[in-house]
Amino acid sequence: MGAQQGTALITGASAGIGAVYARRLAERGYDLVLVARREDRLRGLASELEAAHSIRVEALKADLTVDADLQRVAQRAAGEDLTLLINNAGIGGYGPFEQVDPLLLEQLVRLHILGPMLATRSALPGMLARGRGGVINVASLLAFSGSLPPNPLPHRATYAGAKAFLVQFTRTLAGELRGGPVRVQVCCPGMTETEFNGGYKGAMKPEDVVTASLVALERGETVCVPGLEAADALVALEQAEAGMRAGAKTTLAARYR
C-alpha cells in the first residue's frame, strides 16, 4: 500500500500532533519516516504501525537543533519516495527575551526556521519533477499574537517570531507553486492537549488538529486554523496586508513630517 501513497516524513513524531499524523497517514497506507530525539518512542511507534498497517516505517533519531542531524534529515527529505513532508518538531523557549539563554534561542531558530526551510528545499525539486507532493508546516496561532503583551500568554518573542516566519514562508511559497502539482500548507493550532503544553486539559485534541490539517490539504487551503469556523479572518488579514503595502510610496507620509 505504501508504494502507492509514497512516503511521509514527519518531524517531532514521537508524541502529540506528530504521532497523530503518523497514525492517520499509516491508516491511509503511507510508508513513514518518523523523526525525533527519543529513539525508544520512535521504534515503539514504528513497530506498532508496521504491524497494524503492513507499511514500512523508518525510525530516524535526530536532534534538529544540531547541524549534522538537521542536514541528515534534509537529505532524507530529498528521497525519491517522498510524497509528503510534515515539519512539526518544536520547542517553546518561553521567557522574557532578555533572560532566555541565547543558546536556547539559537536552538529554537534552528528547529522552527532552519529545519523546515532546508527540509522543504530538499524535498521540493523531486516532488515537482515527479508531479506530486505536499508540505505541511505546523506553526501556531501565536504567530498572530504580536499585538498582545505577556500574561496570560507566555513571554514568546522568539517563538512567536519563528512561527510567524513559517506562516509567511508557507504563504509566499504557495504563491510560487500555485497551479502546480505540489501543495503547501501552514497549520496554525491554538492551545492543544499535548506534552508540549503539559497535557493542558480543556485544549483542542491533537486528533482534531490533524483532522483539520489533512482535510485542508485535500482542499488546497494554504492556511489551516483548526478552530476557525469561517475564513473571514483570513480575508481580513489579506486586506490588512494590502493596506500596509499601500505605504510603498516615494514620498514621506504626512504623519512623519
Residues annotated as catalytic are: 159, 163
- Contacts with 112 (C-beta within 8 Å, 6 or more apart), sequence order: 90, 91, 159, 162, 163, 165, 166
Please provide the DSSP assignment of the chain as one string: -HHHH-EEEEESTTSHHHHHHHHHHHHTT-EEEEEES-HHHHHHHHHHHHHHH---EEEEE--TTSHHHHHHHHHHHT-TTEEEEEE-------S-TTTS-HHHHHHHHIIIIIHHHHHHHHHHHHHHHHT-EEEEEE--GGGG-TTSPSSSSPP-HHHHHHHHHHHHHHHHHHHHHTTSSEEEEEE---SBSSGGGTT-TTSBPHHHHHHHHHHHHHHT-SEE-TT-SSTHHHHHHHHHHHHHHTT--SS--GGG-
